[in-house]
Amino acid sequence: MPMNRRSRLYRAGLMSGLGALVAAIALFAAPSQAAHADSGCDCWIVTPTSANPATAPAGTSEVYSFTVTDDDPNETLETLTFTAPTTEFVITSATGPAGTTLSPLPAPSVTLTLLPSNATSNVGSSFSVSITALAPCTSSSGTWSLSDTDSLDNNEAVWSNSTPLSVSVSGQCSLAFTGQPAQTAINQPIMTGFNSAPPPVTVQLLDASGAPLDPSDFSAGTTEVTLSLQSNPTGATLTGNTATSSGGVASFTDLQINLAGVYDLAASARGFMPPATPSNFFTISGVIQPCGSSCSASQSTATTTASVTTSSASNDFLTLGVGGISLTCNHYTAVSDVAAFGVSNASGGSVAGVSSTVTLTLSASAVASSPRPLILWQVCYGSQTPFPSIPGTSGTTTIGGTTYNTGLLLPCFLFKPGHPEPCLISQQKTATGGVALTFVALGDPYGRG
């Protein structure tokens, strides 16, 4: 008489009573699990392809590909979740079999949901997965990780031969000025337009190849950029100089300097190379005065008061700043601070040929520091346009990357009325023991007594 499964269990003396009954019921109720347990791996094997990069240049996008092979005759694959090497890697896209849907991107991980027709168990079959991910700008390394769900709610997808894909970031991201600072007044927002006109000064984040950083990159929205004064002839203070990047750009909306002068900016961020070149030079004026039919402006330092008046700058702007600039003339020792002045249009362009009358008043202490007869107090003048000067005193000076012609001004009585040259009108002592030098200036000049 044939022996059934329960009789064999009893006769073998393996089980008895209620325990044998429960074991037999369990055995017959779940044949698929029993078969699953006896069939080896019974899993979907995920293998990185040989084309995958072991390093990713900082901030750049790389494609990572995997082969998914069916080695499970008992269940179907429903989802695969790939997680990037670190949370700073950003997955921007992924592809799988036709009809595959993706979890929202960009993100550090992506879940591929497969159509049932694509995931039906077919031992030996395979499909490809391709994932595009951006490397961060920060130095890091890590390993791709994987999880899955299947029709039996198991989680058994494995890397072939236990060799998951490891990736490290190479190279370095960098910075570049894209919105350059323009002339404005002290303690006013420095923008890219003249006289605090927006948009703001900006610094672009660049990937390791020198291209603008993808706005989706992790570093594009988390990098703190700091500006500093590359050239600081006055000991000025720069404020509003820190900004966190957004979309790969750091914008500085309240950048200010408290002293007049000519400056340029440097930029820095942790882990980033600084800009290959500083920002453009720009002027901070003490005063930017809008002009009607005529206008005037004045400013003072401890040694020098400068007053400028013009009647030929209608609808333009008179600019004046004292101090912060170095200007010398051959065979002359100047003791006052430099007065930088000029006339600009609404966009900041210099209005050439505009005539201004300027008075530099030197303090008594400045005069006492260099005793000389009144006739020997002169004006050391600088202009981009050549001009006649006292013989032997001419030369050139570079200010903010621009070359200026320099020299001591000749007296105005040597020129005919209506002359186009700058010249010295008068030298006078002041009631307080100082010296006042009055002269005619043209264009975009500098003056120093």
Q: Give the per-residue pLDDT at 159.
A: 84
Q: Give the per-residue pLDDT at 268.
A: 97
383/157 Cα distance (integer angstroms): 76
219/247 Cα distance (integer angstroms): 9
Q: Give the length of the chain.
A: 449
Strands 287-290 and 435-442: unpaired
Q: What is the pLDDT along the chain (449 residues), one digit of tens a residue?
A: 333 322 222 233 333 343 433 333 333 333 333 333 333 456 888 999 988 999 999 999 999 999 999 888 878 889 999 999 999 999 999 999 999 999 999 999 999 999 876 656 678 889 999 999 999 998 889 999 999 888 777 677 788 877 789 999 999 999 999 999 999 999 999 999 999 999 999 999 999 999 999 999 999 999 999 999 998 988 999 999 999 999 999 999 999 999 999 999 999 999 999 999 999 999 999 999 998 878 999 999 999 999 999 887 788 899 999 988 888 999 999 999 999 988 888 998 888 778 889 999 999 999 999 999 999 999 999 999 899 999 999 999 998 889 999 999 999 999 988 777 899 999 999 999 999 999 998 866 766 66
Q: What is the DSSP string of 355-413?
A: EEEEEEEE-HHHHHTS---GGG---EEEESS---B-TT--EEEEETTEEEEEEEBPBGG
Reduce the DSSP state of residue 6 to 3 states and report it: helix
Q: Give the per-residue pLDDT at 390.
A: 97
Q: Under 8 Å CB-to-CB from 196, ≥6 apart: which residues?
A: 184, 185, 188, 189, 190
Quickly tell me which residue has 């020198």 as its tokens.
210
Q: Give the per-residue pLDDT at 314.
A: 80
179/189 Cα distance (integer angstroms): 14
| Farthest-apart Cα atoms in the chain, separation | 142
Strands 166-170 and 55-57: parallel
Quickly tell me which residue has 């000389």 as its tokens.
372
Q: Which residues pair with 201 in a beta bridge?
A: 252
Angle at 133 between CA 124 and CA 203, to 5 degrees: 175
Q: Give the per-residue pLDDT at 350.
A: 83
- Give the Cβ contact number of residue 158 at 10 Å: 16
156/160 Cα distance (integer angstroms): 12
Q: Give the per-residue pLDDT at 36.
A: 36
Given a contact cutoff of 8 angstroms between Cβ atoms, the answer to whether 191 and 282 are in contact is: no
Q: How far apart are the first and last CA of the chain?
A: 129
Query: What radius of gyration, in Å, describes the C-alpha atoms of the chain?
Result: 39
Q: Give the per-residue pLDDT at 313.
A: 75
Q: Give the per-residue pLDDT at 16.
A: 39
Q: Sign (positive/negative) of CA torsion 50, 51, 55, 59?
A: negative
52/82 Cα distance (integer angstroms): 15
396/383 Cα distance (integer angstroms): 9
Candidates 77, 107, 111; CA nearest to 92 is 107
Continuous segment of H or E residues that includes residue 28: helix 17-29
305/138 Cα distance (integer angstroms): 51
Q: Which two tokens stand for residue 130?
A: 């391709």
Phi-psi region of 119 (alpha: psi -120 to 50; beta: other; left: phi over 0): alpha
Q: Give the per-residue pLDDT at 168.
A: 96
114/320 Cα distance (integer angstroms): 70
Given a contact cutoff of 8 angstroms between Cβ atoms, the answer to whether 273 and 281 are in contact is: no
253/264 Cα distance (integer angstroms): 17
